[in-house]
């Protein structure tokens, strides 16, 4: 079987933790190497991989798939260059910094007949997969309200300047926002209207570090929140329907395991602890029942398997450029809504 020769645009935390282990695990990929700017750590983890000194060197090698896992402000330019050289591309979230850039990449991919996917790995978190399953089974009946959180407590600024220095791609809306926005759109589709409140809350911050985004649908609302001043966590997922409610803490263990250097597998990888299971309180067989729901297994491997299938069998990418474009439409509308203090029509 011919393998898809793959290279990373960076071997920092995201390359080492979220990408390389799953590329290495999948038998359909060959992990060729990564662009390293300052430190050369690649060979410590992958002795046979190449360390590229420049992006041009990477692009001019025999590479089929380029993973753009650099700061958001660089996504458009790097993905554009790769597509123009007939490479398939995976771009991390946020897909781009503007709707115009997202639309431009989508057009380039279509013209080049190359695959372009957005790395929204949180679709393969155990907690989100469980929420998705509860809703799809209709256990809650018609959904009236959903609230998703991605909260933390950290008053310190990130050492990564691209996250904290004002400019394209900086701030929480473009950092954590794409996670919960993509999950909401995955479940409920594009909203009719949107309202947002975006703030700076940490004493020393220069960029937005809190948001609340309200998505308006004909018969329901979805509220998305993230911030850095939440010491006592609330349920990350709260979904309420005409037949009951489901609440669940954020419990996916993959990132923590990967940070410890553990290697993913196709066995019990991504299986949550029982203590992180969600609670459903609903009417079952005519009786009111409150019980735990066993969490589904998470595994980011399935994103890369979807990328492999899309390239080899010409199936749809696991997260498409259209998905990425729609997230950017919500982000741009949210920024405008917060600036003007009004509801934005998405039609």
CATH of 123-297+330-345, one of 3.40.50.920, 3.40.50.2300, 3.30.360.10, 3.30.365.10: 3.30.360.10
Stated pTM of the model: 0.96
With a pLDDT cut of 90, the percent of the chain lying above it is 95
Q: Confidence class of residue 116 from pLDDT cuts 50, 70 and 90?
A: very high
**How confident is the model at residue 38, as a pLDDT?**
79
Query: Per this entry, what is the length of the chain?
Result: 347
Distance of CA 273 to the CA centre of its chain: 22
Please report which confidence band the pLDDT of residue 232 belongs to, taking 50, 70 and 90 as the band edges: very high
Average model confidence (pLDDT) across the chain: 96
pLDDT at residue 117 above 60?
A: yes
DSSP, res 209: -
Amino acid 92: pLDDT: 98
Q: Where are the domains of the chain?
A: 4-121+303-318, 123-297+330-345
Let me know: does 141 contact 242? Beta carbons within 8 Å.
yes
Whole-angstrom distance, CA of residue 74 vs CA of residue 97:
9
The CA-based dihedral angle spanning residues 169, 326, 78, 28, taken in that order and rounded to the nearest 10 degrees: 130
Separation CA 253–CA 237 (nearest Å): 16
- Residue 1: predicted pLDDT: 56
**Triad 221, 147, 200: Cα angle to 5°:** 105
pLDDT digits (tens, 9 = 90+) for 4-19: 999 999 999 999 999 9
Predicted pLDDT of residue 2: 78
CA geometry: angle 103, 64, 53, nearest 5 deg: 95
Q: 161 pLDDT band (50/70/90 cuts)?
A: confident
Domains 4-121+303-318 and 123-297+330-345 share a fold: no
Residue 333: per-residue pLDDT: 98
What would the pLDDT profile of 60-105 be if each residue is shown by its tens digit? 999 999 999 999 999 999 999 999 999 999 999 999 999 999 999 9
DSSP letters spanning 278-311: EEEEEEETTEEEEEEEPPPPP-THHHHHHHHHHH
The listed CATH number (3.20.20.120, 3.40.50.720, 2.40.50.140, 3.40.50.920) that belongs to domain 4-121+303-318: 3.40.50.720
The CA distances from residue 95 to 43, 72, 149, 247, 319, in Å, are 29, 7, 20, 29, 11
pLDDT for 276 beyond 90:
yes
């Amino acid at each position: 079987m011919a393998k898809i020769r793959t290279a990373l645009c960076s071997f920092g935390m995201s390359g080492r933790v979220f990408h390389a282990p799953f590329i290495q695990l999948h038998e359909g990929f060959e992990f060729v190497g990564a662009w390293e700017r300052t430190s050369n750590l690649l060979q410590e983890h992958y002795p046979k991989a190449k360390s590229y000194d420049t992006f041009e060197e990477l692009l001019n090698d025999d590479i089929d798939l380029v993973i753009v896992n650099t700061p958001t402000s660089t996504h458009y330019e790097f993905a554009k260059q790769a597509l123009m050289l007939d490479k398939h591309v995976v771009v991390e979230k946020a897909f781009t910094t503007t709707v115009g850039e997202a639309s431009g990449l989508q057009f380039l991919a279509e013209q080049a007949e190359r695959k372009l996917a957005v790395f929204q790995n949180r679709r393969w978190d155990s907690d989100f997969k469980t929420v998705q399953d509860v809703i799809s089974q209709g256990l809650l009946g018609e959904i009236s309200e959903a609230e998703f959180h991605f909260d933390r407590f950290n008053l310190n600024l990130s050492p990564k300047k691209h996250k904290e220095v004002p400019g394209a791609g900086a701030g929480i809306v473009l950092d954590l926002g794409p996670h919960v926005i993509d999950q909401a759109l995955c479940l409920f589709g594009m909203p009719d209207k949107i309202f947002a409140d975006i703030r700076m809350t940490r004493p020393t911050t220069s960029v937005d570090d809190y948001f609340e985004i309200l998505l308006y649908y004909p018969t329901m609302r979805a509220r998305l929140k993230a911030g850095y001043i939440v010491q006592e966590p609330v349920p990350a997922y709260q979904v309420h329907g005409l037949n009951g409610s489901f609440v669940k803490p954020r419990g996916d263990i993959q990132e923590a395991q990967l940070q410890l250097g553990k290697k993913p597998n196709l066995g019990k990888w991504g299986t949550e602890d029982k203590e992180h299971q969600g609670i459903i309180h609903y009417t079952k067989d005519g009786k009111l029942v409150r019980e735990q729901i066993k969490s589904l297994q998470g595994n980011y491997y399935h994103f890369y398997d979807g990328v492999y299938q899309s390239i080899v069998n010409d199936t749809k990418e696991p997260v498409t450029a259209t998905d990425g474009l729609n997230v950017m439409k919500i982000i741009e509308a949210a920024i405008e809504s917060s600036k003007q203090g009004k509801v934005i029509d998405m039609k």
